[in-house]
Homo-oligomer: A and B are copies of this chain.
Amino acid sequence: MTRARQWVLRRRPSGEPVPADVELVELDVPVAGPGQVLVRNAYLSVDPYMRGRMNAARVYAPPYEIGEPLYGGAVGEVVASEDPRLPVGTCVQHELGWRTHSVVPAGAAVVVDPEQAPLPRYLGVLGMPGLTAWVGLFDIGEVRPGETVWVSAASGAVGSLAGQLARLHGCRVVGSAGGPDKCRYVVEELGFDACVDHRAGDLEGRLREVLPDGLDVYFDNVGGGHLRAALSLANPFARLVECGMISAYNGVVEPVDNLGLIVGRKLTVRGFIVWDSAHRTPVFTRHVARLLREGAVRYDETVVVGIERQLDALVGLLRGSAGRGKVVVDVRDG
């Protein structure tokens, strides 16, 4: 491949992103300068937060800029190196995705071992989504054995691991997901104690059936009506882990009219961004890599082939139609 391709933001989406919001441009393969490496990317990450960064408002990270390339997680192989720490042939994970070739400062690339796990894992269960699940559950939610946990978006990259970790920790774990296929997967393949289909209506009523004793920890990836139901079902001193609110990412905010329960039930509703917990990576990696070796956690990936399909993959993820587990784009052939 003698040319590189990368996605550029052309305008800020209104609601769900459409093809005219972005452009896939072709350019010469870039050259690494001193202290940099050129990475030929193999897999690109697709994450819900990317929609938020397409908006103009800075929340926790700068927004993507109009006319500039998009970026995000990626893994690939160093094909040219101007830094002795990362020789050609090294596999690395970095944050300059949405493109086939990335010039990365050596200090911003993390070496990964393709012998220990297939490369896409470093974008998923052994990468940012895995750390997100681990930090959210243990550091933010302070989950304890014997507690009851509800994980929303339970078939997704973060939720699927959060629920399995909680179950291994000695919790009763209920999931929610969109559609009967995902729910079956969550119970039969991931081993959750129950899973509620949020598309079937009356989310709170259905949850109440499987949570007769309420909930102690809610791992929130959705917000809106899901958050409302969690407040309603929360036991005194429950913790609500605010990992994401995918229901609002396209700009539609569902009202939450029972916030008074935060006072009366003495709840802690706590948001976090995984980048603040990078120092937990060694503990997380030891724990989850061991569980993977032992076959104690199951992890699925949905692989979309071809960089031209990355926007579609993101839209599908936001719609809940993307598939199971972590969504990645295979760009080994461009």
A273's closest neighbor in chain B, by CB? B266
Q: Is the interface of A mostly helix, strand, loop or mixed?
A: loop
A266 touches B227 (CB 8 A): no
**A236 proximal to B (CB < 8 A):** yes
A242-276 to B contact mask, C-beta < 8 Å, 1/0? 11110010000101111111111111111111001
Tell me the bound Cα distance from A56 to B272 in angstroms: 36
A263 touches B276 (CB 8 A): no
A265 touches B227 (CB 8 A): no
**A130 proximal to B (CB < 8 A):** no
Nearest CB on B from A54, distance (A): 14
**A129 proximal to B (CB < 8 A):** no
**A325 proximal to B (CB < 8 A):** no
A263 touches B236 (CB 8 A): no
Say how many copies of this protein the assembly contains: 2
A221's closest neighbor in chain B, by CB? B263
Tell me the bound Cα distance from A257 to B247 in angstroms: 12
Tell me the bound Cα distance from A257 to B227 in angstroms: 13
Tell me the bound Cα distance from A49 to B272 in angstroms: 31
Question: Given A266-B271, A271-B267, does the pair A257, B255 have CB atoms closer than 8 Å?
Answer: yes
B266 touches A60 (CB 8 A): yes
User: Which residues from chain B contact A178 at a C-beta distance below 8 Å?
Assistant: none
Tell me the bound Cα distance from A245 to B259 in angstroms: 9
B266 touches A269 (CB 8 A): no
B242 touches A262 (CB 8 A): yes
B272 touches A263 (CB 8 A): yes
**A59 proximal to B (CB < 8 A):** yes
**A156 proximal to B (CB < 8 A):** no
* The one of B52, B60, B263 that contacts A265, using a Cβ cutoff of 8 Å: B60
**A223 proximal to B (CB < 8 A):** yes
Tell me the bound Cα distance from A227 to B259 in angstroms: 10
Question: Given A236-B60, A257-B253, A257-B255, does the pair A245, B263 have CB atoms closer than 8 Å?
Answer: yes
Tell me the bound Cα distance from A264 to B248 in angstroms: 13
User: Which residues from chain B contact A268 at a C-beta distance below 8 Å?
Assistant: 268-271
User: Which residues from chain B contact A248 at a C-beta distance below 8 Å?
Assistant: 260
B271 touches A264 (CB 8 A): yes
Question: Given A223-B259, A255-B257, A259-B256, does the pair A59, B271 have CB atoms closer than 8 Å?
Answer: no
A270 touches B269 (CB 8 A): yes
A61's closest neighbor in chain B, by CB? B264
Extra contacts, 7 of them, besides A262-B271, A266-B271 (Cβ < 8 A), are: A59-B264, A245-B263, A255-B257, A263-B271, A264-B273, A267-B270, A267-B271
Residue contacts A-B, CB under 8 angstroms, 19 given = A59-B261, A59-B265, A223-B259, A242-B263, A243-B263, A244-B263, A245-B263, A253-B258, A255-B257, A256-B259, A262-B269, A262-B271, A263-B271, A263-B272, A266-B271, A267-B270, A267-B271, A268-B268, A268-B269
The 9 closest A-B pairs by CB, nearest first: A59-B264, A262-B271, A263-B271, A269-B269, A60-B264, A268-B270, A242-B262, A245-B260, A253-B257
